[in-house]
Structure 1
């Protein structure tokens, strides 16, 4: 029997790598797409006749309209607003209102003040900061990929045949397996993070890393415990769950129940000790 307390105390606080925080390559790429237009708009900074200068600039260079959303930290090409006059949906790829209305939009959102009063000196530098802030929203996805990449590195070490993001129905089709016991009678569209094929067995693997707690962790533990139960009678099929993270401290009880029932529940320390080599047979 494995010792849950010892295993649980091995949970990692973080697995963040250097590129987790900001993907500067993507930030620079997004700025480069608007560099010419932003430089044109830089001519408006500190203008003494901002509305007339904006009108002249938008008439001569209508393409600069597409810069406006990023100045408001918005990635969409359309922005909806409503006021006492009604509802408006401004399109910044293909102008659908008068130039005066677009300038009014910029005035009401604070962009005219930002540019006219020299609050920023360079719109490219300003947008670089905006893009950096927006990119931080991608940390959740990068965090999930970090765990997947880590687990994949240990799968590769086994030298076995494996697949990423494989649907349950594709497993059934590829290896002529009946997985109706875990597919809700064939209605589930479950996708597994990894599938490892050995000479005798199919191993489906789920991975996750939780830095913070929440009800989702309890639901995940219960769900995976149920999959483990339902899959026990499927010939040549094994369910493997690799999880880690300090977030489990708030869901310890449910995780312990699952740990005591699941044969293949592992953490990063288990991977480091070569558990995949022992399990995949």
Structure 2
């Protein structure tokens, strides 16, 4: 369904479905305007009208760049200005969608390398869901890894899809079977046998999660504390931050860091 224009900067789109993962985490999809184009890993401002004015926040696209609908992953903050309202959306409701996607978590902000590591906490998983279903990712890298750190196992959204190595994806299933890996940690739950359940920063720092700027490329998304700490560790290892204008060996989304 085509969105209707509501002012100059955003359109009004319809909610197509909502999936609740647990009491504080949900996914939803909205209609995609025909003119809306984005790169895997980018985000867009979306939200709801509140007191006659648009209340918008940044959300990464979790859907493929070629998908007919736009999918998002959201946490619920009970006193949050937007998410306290967004948690109640249902099929058929209206969402405000900004016209222009932006963001630095894109392949062209990285120098060529062998291994791609997408490190995220919480809803920082969302851009990885778009990237791992992009065939270009598998053309550029020999291995593709998603590292997702959460507090509890119930926070592991999309666990079945990720742990199956995207077996049901008609476009990348074959490549993902050979190149994709999924590494998760639930820091407040008991670790599975042989699993390192510590924070990703601790594992990178002590070398148990090995990263080499000569061969590895890293993307970061999630909590501000994790991004800042991990970026500092990476720079200490010889990694350099990249952007579209000057590609590097790691990238982060500065719009979420502040």
Instruction: Please tell me the TM-score bracket, short chain as reference.
Output: under 0.3
Indicate the structure with greater strand content.
2
The structure with the larger Rg is: 1
TM-score normalised according to structure 1 size: 0.24
TM-score normalised according to structure 2 size: 0.25
Indicate the structure with greater helix content.
1
